[in-house]
A and B are shown apart, each in its own frame.
Chain A
Amino acid sequence: MTRISPVREAAPSVRESLKQLDDSALAARFLDGERRAFDELVDRYQSRLLNFVYRTTGDRERAEDLVQETFIRVYRHLHRFDQTKKFSTWVYTIASNLAKNELRNRSRNPLVLFQTIRKDWEADQRPLQWEDNTYRPDDLFRKRHLRSMVESAVEELPRHHRQVFVLREMEGKTYEEIAEITGCNLGTVKSRLNRARNNFAQLIAPLLG
C-alpha cells in the first residue's frame, strides 16, 4: 500500500492558493513568514522585468543581473513597502532606476560615448513634420526586416524617450504609472512619449506603406 505524505499533498495546494492572491496579499503573506509567497512574486515578474530592462538597456546579460538586483532590493525593503500602493509600480520603479543608472554609467565609458556622439540624433530639434511617401517596397522584404528594424528603432531612441515608450507600448502602463516609475510629471511623460512615437515612426516609415 502506498503511503502519501501529508506534507507532499499540502505543498501543491499552498502554491495553488498563492497563485490566486494579488501582489499586495502575496507581499503580506511573505512578511508573515510564508517564503513561497516571494517565489510566486518572482515567478510573476521575472520575465516582464527582464523584457522591460532589456528593451531599455539593450544588453541581455546585464538585464538579467539588474533584474536579480531588483528582486534583492524588493526582498530587502518589502517590509517598508506601502501596501496601499500598487506593487507593480514599486517594483518597476526599482528596475527603472537600476536601468537608468546602468545607462548613465555606460555613457561615461569613452568607447560608448564615442559611439553615441557619432549618432547625430537630436530628437528635441527635429521638426514634427510628416511627408507623404508613395514608396512601396516589396511586402516580403518589409515583413522580413520589419522586426529587426523595429528593434533597432527602439534601441536608437534617446534613453529618456525609450523608457517611456517601452513602458507604454510594451508594458501597457498608464501615464500616471509611468510618471511614478520614471520620477517625472505627467506633462513630461506626454511630451517624451509623443517625441518617442514621432522618432520611432520616422525610423520605420520606409518599411511600411
Chain B
Amino acid sequence: MADCAEFLDRYSEYRDGLLSPVLSERFAAHLDSCASCARYHRVVVSGVEAFAGLPELSPSTDFALRLQDRLREEEWMARRATSGAPLGVTVAVAAALGLAAWLPTLGRDPEVAELPAVLAKGPPPVREPAVSVDLADFELPSYVPIHGGVWQPAFVAGSSGGSLAAYALPLAPAPAR
C-alpha cells in the first residue's frame, strides 16, 4: 500500500489519471484508509472546482476596435516594407525634394538685417612686470601660491639669479590689503 509521502509526491499524476492501473489502485486504497490524505484530496478537488467556476472575464467593449486599428497599422507597415521601391529611387526623390526646398534661395542676395549695437566693457588693463628678467634663468613649476592662497601659474627665479622673485600672470584681481 502507498504511504502518505508517496501519495503526496505523486498526487498530481494520480489526480490527472497518469498512473498505471496498479499504482492508481494502491493510491485509491490509501485514500480509503488515510483521513489526512483524503481531506487533502477533497480540498484540492473543491478548491479547483471553485476556481474553475470563477466568472469568466470578457474583453472590454472597445477591445475589437482597438485591435482592428492595430491590425490596419500592421497591414500598412507590411505593405510599405514590401512596396519594392529601390534605394536609388528613394535617394533621388529625397534629393529632388531637398533641391526644391533650397532652389528659391539660390541666385539671390541674402537679406541684411540691421541689429542694434551691443555695448561691451573694454579689455582689462595690462599690468607691467615688476622686474625685467631673462626668461632663460627661470624654471617653470606648475603653480605657486600668491596673495592669500590663490594659486596661479608663475615663473620662479633659477639658481643663477639673485633673490627669489615671482612673476605671476594675473588671472583675478588681487584682494585688497
Contact = CB atoms under 8 A, between A and B. Distances in A.
B137 to A, nearest CB: 65
A154 interface: yes
Contacts of B35: 132
Interface stretch (B25-33, B65-73, B154-162, B167-175): B65-73
B60 A64 contact: yes
A72 interface: yes
B46 interface: yes
B70 A170 contact: no
A71 B48 CA distance: 29
A130 B36 contact: yes
Interface stretch (A6-14, A88-96, A195-203): A195-203
A119 interface: no
Nearest to A209: B42
B50 interface: yes
Contacts of A204: 43, 47, 50
Given A46-B59, A131-B36, A190 B12 contact: yes
B151 interface: no
Contacts of B56: 47, 51
Contacts, number: 96
A130 B8 contact: yes
Nearest to A48: B56
A54 B44 contact: no
Interface string B41-62: 0111011101110101111100
A174 to B, nearest CB: 9
A132 B46 contact: no
B15 to A, nearest CB: 8
B147 interface: no
Interface in A123-148: 128, 130-133, 146-147
Contacts of B48: 169, 200
A68 interface: yes
Contacts of A60: 57
Interface residues of B, number: 38
Contacts of A154: 51
Interface string B1-17: 00011001111110110
A150 B54 contact: yes
Given A67-B59, A130-B8, A130-B37, A72 B74 contact: yes
A128 B3 CA distance: 13
Interface in A59-104: 60, 63-64, 67-68, 71-72, 75-76
Interface string A168-201: 1110000100000000000000100110011011
Interface of B: 4-5, 8-13, 15-16, 18, 35-37, 39-40, 42-44, 46-48, 50-52, 54, 56-60, 63-64, 66-67, 70-71, 74
Closest 6 CB pairs of A and B: A194-B12, A128-B8, A130-B40, A150-B50, A204-B47, A201-B43
Given A50-B59, A150-B47, A151-B51, 13 more contacts: A46-B59, A51-B57, A60-B57, A63-B57, A147-B50, A150-B54, A154-B51, A170-B51, A194-B9, A197-B15, A198-B8, A198-B11, A201-B44
23 contacts: A42-B64, A46-B63, A47-B56, A50-B57, A64-B59, A68-B67, A71-B71, A72-B74, A76-B74, A130-B4, A130-B36, A130-B37, A131-B36, A193-B12, A194-B8, A194-B9, A197-B12, A197-B44, A198-B8, A200-B44, A204-B50, A208-B46, A208-B47
